[in-house]
Amino acid sequence: MNTPQVAACGSWQSPITSNLIVSQTVGISSLAVNQGNIYWVEKRPQEQGRNLLIGYGNQAEVKNFTLAPLSVRSKIHEYGGGAFVVEGNTIYFSNYQDGRIYQQVIGTQPYPLTDKLERRYGDLIVDRDRNRLICVCEDHSLAGEAKNSIVTINLNTGRMQDLAAGSDFYSSPRLSPDSEYLAWLSWNHPDMPWDSTHLWLAQLDAEGMVLEPKLIAGGRAESICEPKWGDDGTLYFSSDRTNWWNLYRRKPDGQVEILQQTSAEFAYPHWIFGLSTYAVVGEYIICAYSADGCWHLGKIDLKTKQFSEIKTRYTNISDLQGSDDFVVFIGGSPTETSAVIKLDLNTFREQILRRTGEVQIDPGYLSLPEAIAFPSSEGLTAHAWYYAPENKDYIAMPGELPPLIVNSHGGPTAAAAVELNLRIQYWTSRGFGYLDVNYGGSIGYGRQYRQRLDGKWGIVDVDDCINAAKYLVERKSVDGDRLVITGSSAGGYTTLAALTFRDTFKAGASYYGVSDLEILAKDTHKFESRYLDRLVGKYPEDRAIYQERSPIYFIEQLDCPVIFFQGLKDQVVPPNQAEMMFEAIKKKGLPVAYIAFEQEAHGFRIAENIKKALDSEFYFYSRIFGFEPADRLEQIEIINL
């Protein structure tokens, strides 16, 4: 056994390189099951971030069904989701480049089903009896704000008809087993789907059109998620009417009842289409649920409503789908990158079909998360996951405490995922501590915890990130003079607000973050165009609050170095948000850097750009804190340094 070297934190040599991260990993999402075959979407950074439809069938082999340059991805709501459906031996999918729906018989070339109009599609399902697709359509071909509706698309002609229209947003069209009824969700400005949604049910007439929709559940203070049908005509869904997203059912006679009332979340916020946390399998529901910041697997007996946990090693579970005798889901743990898992419901044996990262890393280089609950503002408790520095080859200098990176996740209605994330391990294996904060407003802790951010974005999230860092400083886990904060999108805003309005952090990194809330309110896409009404205030009535919370107006208060990363095709947080802040900091004379990627949008997908961003952030910190990295990093321009 080798004796660890003594070296300054930040200068440790690590096998977890940026090149390894981008060359050996893929993204996996959107699981589906059809006739016993399993499908998913695979995002490959090495192929310019292209999305491929992958299948696993009876021959026990993984197949790619998407030929270049096609990419199975939708732009609906900008975030997409629900971009494909498989029926028998035919695939229907949205192609990212042109937004059209394509039809592909497996083993043949795909051909476009829809026209070239500026329309986007998501949540695709097949209505076999009427030879059509049913999906959500976002029509950008009209003047003004995009129009959202549920539509049908004839599988022979591509002809499109509205099935449900009039609300600002729609999702989750679900056809009953006998094809006689359709359920769906709708909501209106200024609500987001995790604030208020309505669950509708309607009978279909002889032509398949909607007859007199009935409101089944939902309202101003209730979020409904994931309607699904059982074989007997029972309609299942999640509701947070008790503060937690719990599972309910509406029986064929119209009676609605809760299946399991518990302080756990059985749903995700619907940022994207097609999310799934449960499956109705025979006389049971197999479900994923979040408790104490981790995801678990459970089973509900539909006759007795008895709930039991299915023990697994996974702490992050998503995209759960089911068949007659198995379920599949994406599962990850603190020591394993996420993977497509097939679970046999007779033997409860697991089979790993595909990992997001195939690389094997010695456990001596991996940091395991520690759950921390810490006191924050207003006498409330907030939550985070702390990853201490870990590298079997090194120990810190005598008396040295590690620098700390505080991560403010995006959303802000989201949460830190508890699974092996090689980007986190990139930092901890080099001698940094890493703190993933589930600030007030995060999911997984109930509706009231989510609502802590209402009217207080830029305050509660900043308080929680600062108090989390101070908690670790006070217990002498990290160096209070080397605290940095990083975040992307909404987390980038929290980062800039913390750096501008407080003096806790010594540097920061903003990935496509917001610097001017007023510009964001006036210049963003439809889905989030009224999001800030709840998080900040009504615009323009509360314009003064927007300016008070915008870092760009208070550059004189900012007194530390910042690095910015931005995709120039970003339609969610346009490049001017980063560029204004960069120019103002440069003019003030503080160290600042700006890395722009011409081909990236909201979130980086291309391997070389992911690598450059990670290494550039590391290089930036090395210059700010004066340590010598063991890695040979490409130098970047840091102005005023």
Indicate if 317 and 395 belong to the same structural domain.
no
Percent of the chain with pLDDT over 90: 94
Kindly state whether residue 198 falls inside one of the protein's structural domains: no
- Per the prediction, the chain carries an average pLDDT of 96
What Rg do the C-alpha atoms of the chain give, in angstroms?
24
Two structure tokens written together for 535: 């998080």
Kindly state whether residue 229 falls inside one of the protein's structural domains: no
Would you say residue 357 has pLDDT above 90? no
How confident is the model over 379-383, as a mean pLDDT? 96
Q: What's residue 46's pLDDT? A: 87
DSSP letter for 72, please.
B
How confident is the model over 442-464, as a mean pLDDT? 98
Q: What is the pLDDT of residues 547-574, one digit of tens each?
A: 999 999 999 999 999 999 999 999 899 9
Q: What does the chain come to in residues?
A: 641
Indicate if 605 and 547 belong to the same structural domain.
yes
Indicate if 499 and 621 belong to the same structural domain.
yes
Would you say residue 52 has pLDDT above 80? yes
Please report where in the chains the tokens 């208070």 appear, as a residue.
Answer: 554
Would you say residue 347 has pLDDT above 70? yes
Q: What is the pLDDT of residues 102-122, one digit of tens each?
A: 999 998 999 999 998 899 999
Indicate if 461 and 571 belong to the same structural domain.
yes
pTM of the model: 0.95
Indicate if 480 and 588 belong to the same structural domain.
yes
Would you say residue 515 has pLDDT above 80? yes
Indicate if 465 and 386 belong to the same structural domain.
yes
Would you say residue 322 has pLDDT above 90? yes
Among 358, 379, 406, residue at a domain's last position: 358
DSSP string over 326-355: EEEEEEEETTEEEEEEEEETTT--EEEEEE
Among 300, 333, 358, residue at a domain's last position: 358
How confident is the model over 251-274, as a mean pLDDT? 95
Kindly state whether residue 48 falls inside one of the protein's structural domains: no
Q: What's residue 142's pLDDT? A: 86
Kindly state whether residue 503 falls inside one of the protein's structural domains: yes
Q: What's residue 1's pLDDT? A: 62
Indicate if 440 and 475 belong to the same structural domain.
yes
Would you say residue 580 has pLDDT above 80? yes
- Domain range enclosing 307: 284-358
Kindly state whether residue 265 falls inside one of the protein's structural domains: no
Indicate if 500 and 394 belong to the same structural domain.
yes
Q: What's residue 573's pLDDT? A: 92
Kindly state whether residue 594 falls inside one of the protein's structural domains: yes
Indicate if 423 and 570 belong to the same structural domain.
yes
Q: What is the pLDDT of residues 267-286, one digit of tens each?
A: 999 999 999 999 999 999 99
| Number of domain units in the chain | 2
How confident is the model over 158-170, as a mean pLDDT? 97
DSSP letter for 246, please.
E
Q: What's residue 618's pLDDT? A: 98
CA 560, distance to chain mean position in Å, is: 30
Indicate if 478 and 561 belong to the same structural domain.
yes
Indicate if 340 and 437 belong to the same structural domain.
no
Indicate if 351 and 386 belong to the same structural domain.
no
Lowest mean pLDDT among 17-26, 198-207, 300-309, 548-557: 17-26
How confident is the model over 234-242, as a mean pLDDT? 98
Give the pLDDT band (50/70/90) at residue 2. Answer: confident
Among 358, 393, 412, residue at a domain's last position: 358
How confident is the model over 420-436, as a mean pLDDT? 98
3-state percent breakdown (helix, strand, coil) of the chain, nearest 5:
20, 35, 45
Kindly state whether residue 16 falls inside one of the protein's structural domains: no
Kindly state whether residue 177 falls inside one of the protein's structural domains: no
